Structure 1
Amino acid sequence: MKAYAEADLVRAAAAGIRAPSLFNTQPWLFRLGGGAIEVLADPTRQLAVADRDGWAVRLACGAAVYNARLALAAAGTPAEVELSPGPAAPDVVARLTPGPERPPTYAEADLCAAIPRRYSNRAPFWPNPVPADSRARLREAARDEGAWLEMLVGMTALSGFAEIAQSADRVLRRDAGYRSEMMSWTHTDSAPDGVLVTAGAPVSEPQDLLPQRAHSDRRRAPGRDYEPEPLIGILGVTGDLPTDQIVAGQAMQKVLLTATDEGLAASMLSQPIEVPAARDQLRRSLGRSGVPQLALRFGYGQPGRPAPRRDVAEFLLPPRP
């Protein structure tokens, strides 16, 4: 029986740690055991206020699983994936076991090449519209991973979403513990985790349609709109169990890598998901079955650079005995 080796573990982990996470906490670990690669949640990296129930950790770990899958497939050793293997290993998000060897598909190679180039672009996007075929490819990427991506079309839908997002953001900003936690993960100097001030969005103005997290104190010219008509997609899955959230994380990552491969910029808006009442309002406004897990913003923007990561060795656990 074929088994993954140490080199496969390092390859999977090096790709996995490039996934996004709330406040760039990087809440994942990797372990080789019984010839399989396990992706685990790191409980020490779960946000005590912003992520009390672990939703953001599971979404981030799902994204890390997708990156690890891509890296293994690109190396010719695609994985069979078992999510949440069981109560005996509660921190194990997924177990990857070797499937039949085969050359990577062109799509796998392209998306794997996009992993080191993907990053969250929080700056204002240009007014250039995203073409219909690019939007279709993003929706297809979500479907491929068992999720749906609902694009908000027209100002009526956008305004309704913006109202929900702004209301959720006000709720979060009123929580002193939330503000303190966010600032503890905001850095003015280079750091291997968290969000750099220089990567934050400009300070929100009253006329802005969408809320922005206060990672930055940069201001822009008075009266200048952030984005008058952004492209917003709502990512959702059928249910809201922990496994559903891991599925959503994998779909999120495939959508983000597809956007990168399309030459698009993207960022995430999770405020309407973090506030339960806002999330329920968003679900009802969409008029479709399933549970929203994240809002994503797409467009064309000024090139930036990926956020820093800790050294891959810090994420590797000793093999399971």
Structure 2
Amino acid sequence: MHNAQPWQFRYHRSRHTFEVRADFDRAMPHSDPAGRSLHLGCAAALLNLRVAVAHEGRHPETRLLPDPADRELLATVRLIDPAPDTSTLAALYPAIHQRHSSRDPFEETKIPRTVHDALAEAARLEGVVLSFPTSWHLEDVLETIQEAEARNITDPGSEQDLERWTRIAASPADAPVEGVPQYAFGPRKRGGKAPMRDFAGHRQVADRDAADFERNPQLALLSTPRDHPEDWLCAGQAMQRVLLLATLQGLAGSFVSQPLEWNDLRWPLRDPVTGTGHPQMMLRLGYGPTGPGTPRRPVSEVLDIQP
């Protein structure tokens, strides 16, 4: 959430193993009291690590939550050589540096069914279901998002999270290495149904444009069979895998997490036919600007190399 970057990596040379660890100092106890979103973010970073390892011709042998006594240790990745076939993962590598969250309007062009199927398969490879709400279900989902946005506007804790993790008047040249800078807020929504979080909150932002967004937004829901930390880690990896593949397919995307921050609003997002599954993240996808890159902490802050 909010580009907090709540991850740490530790590499053990002797064991050829990475640890992916949670940085709970970057948690958001109000908006994310259980740490679900923190797990999703760290898992997205884990997926990027797996892709990079595969790109280097090695196999990323991954274990989730390997030590129940160490809540910060989310996963280990052991580099194995020679590698089994990791070409599907490795093919995603160019998208790691291309993918950005885009908070600009998208075109009304429909995403082809073949692309839907490919994205759903990418999620399935991580044990996660990706679905695309349509018709009355989409309308229900959009209403649920509106309810969440209305709550967030009047919720002091949500506003405090925004103030902590957003940077008004930050340009690409002077933006801090964390949080969402003003140049990445995107325009204010003047019209359309696209669900857009306003990162300005109650604050006034000078010279910010307004724009009409999509009348027919295209949303994708990621769901897991259960709702435990291991499921959150699977969902975060699936989320990033879907976004990387979407980038290679020419799509832009952004996150729609507002209703997932309210437990009672998560359930209406479930599959309306089966009523099963635990929604973990919603994505807004479409054809349009790719969005600007946001800052990242330097490697020296997030990577510790051990003998």
Query: Scaled by the length of structure 1, what TM-score is found?
Result: 0.86
Cα distance in 2 for residues equivalent to 1:137 and 1:317 = 36
Q: Which runs of 4+ in 1 moved over 4 A?
A: 103-106
| CA deviation after TM superposition for structure 1 residue 171, in Å | 1.5
**Aligned counterparts of 2:197 and 2:186: Cα–Cα separation in 1:** 7
Contact kept in structure 2, 1:126 and 1:299, CA below 8 Å: yes
1:310 aligns with one of 288, 291, 297: 297
- Structure 2 portions without partners, runs of 5+: none
Deviation at 1:179, TM superposition (A): 0.7
- How far off its partner does 1:180 sit? 2.0
Who is 1:249 aligned against?
236
Task: Find the partner of 1:94 among 75, 78, 87.
Answer: 75
Which AA in structure 1 matches 2:193?
L
Alignment partner for residue 213 of structure 1, among 184, 193, 197?
Answer: 197
The one-letter code sitting in structure 1 at the alignment partner of 2:196 is Q
Higher strand residue share: 2
Match of 2:11 among 32, 52, 70: 32
Q: Is the 8 A contact 1:231 1:298 kept in 2?
A: yes
Distance 1:286 1:94 in 2: 34
Partner of 1:64: 45
Rounded to whole Å, the distance in 1 between the matches of 2:85 and 2:199 is 39
Q: CA deviation at 1:196?
A: 1.5
Give percent identity, aligned residues only: 37
CA RMSD of aligned residues (A): 1.9
2:194–2:216 contact (8 Å) kept in structure 1:
no
Contact 1:168–1:272 (Cα < 8 Å) also in 2 = yes
Name the aligned partner's letter for residue 160 of structure 2: S
The answer on whether the counterparts of 2:120 and 2:130 sit within 8 Å (CA) in structure 1 is yes
- In 2: Cα distance, 1:110 partner to 1:284 partner: 31
What letter is aligned with 1:215?
Answer: F
Q: CA deviation at 1:297?
A: 0.8
Equivalent AA in structure 2 for residue 269 of structure 1 = V
| Structure 1 residue 144, shift from structure 2 partner | 0.8
Contact 2:54 2:87 in 1 (8 A): no
- Identify which of 266, 278, 303 aligns with 1:279: 266
CA distance in 2, matches of 1:108, 1:81: 13
The equivalent position to 1:157 in structure 2, one of 119, 126, 137, is 137
For residue 164 of structure 2, what is the aligned residue in structure 1?
184
Determine helix, strand or coil for the equivalent of 2:97.
Answer: helix
Q: Does the CA contact (< 8 Å) of 1:40 and 1:93 recur in 2?
A: yes
Residue 295 of structure 2 aligns with an amino acid whose one-letter code is P
Which residue number in structure 2 is paired with residue 14 of structure 1? none
Query: Relative to structure 1, is the Cα distance of residues 284 and 137 closer, same or farther in structure 2, using a 3 angstrom cutoff?
Result: closer
Q: How many equivalent pairs are there? A: 294
1:204 is paired with a residue whose SS is strand
Report whether the alignment pairs 1:228 with 2:215.
Answer: yes
Matching residue of 2:108? 127
User: 1:172-191 CA distances to partner (integer Å, 9 max, x unpaired)?
Assistant: 22111211221221112122
Aligned partner of 1:263 in structure 2 is 250
Provide the rounded CA distance (Å) in 1 between the counterparts of 2:96 and 2:124.
Answer: 20
Aligned partners of 1:287, 1:246: CA distance in 2, in Å?
24
Partner of 1:174: 154
- 1:6 is aligned to none
Task: Kindly indicate whether the alpha-carbon contact (under 8 Å) linking 1:49 and 1:177 is maintained by their aligned counterparts in 2.
Answer: yes
Instruction: Give distance in 1, aligned partners of 2:182 and 2:272.
Output: 34
1:85 partnered with 2:66 = yes
TM-score, with structure 2 as normaliser:
0.90
Instruction: Please state how far the C-alpha of 1:87 moved relative to its aligned partner.
Output: 2.3
The correspondence for 1:112, drawn from 93, 98, 110, is 93
Counterpart AA for 1:278: L
Tell me if structure 2 keeps the 8 A contact 1:58–1:242: yes
**The one of 137, 140, 145 aligned to 2:126:** 145
- Match status 1:23 vs 2:2: yes
Structure 2 equivalent of residue 17 of structure 1: none
Q: 1:194 to 1:104 in 2, by over 3 A?
A: farther
Q: Return closer, same or farther for 1:87/1:303 CA change in 2, 3 Å cut-off.
A: closer
SS of the counterpart of 1:24?
Answer: coil
Q: Residue 265 of structure 1 aligns to which amino acid in structure 2?
A: A
Q: How many angstroms does 1:104 deviate by? A: 6.2
- For residues 16-39 of structure 1, give each alpha carbon's deviation from its aligned partner in whole angstroms, at most 9, with x where no partner exists: xxxxxx100000001123512100
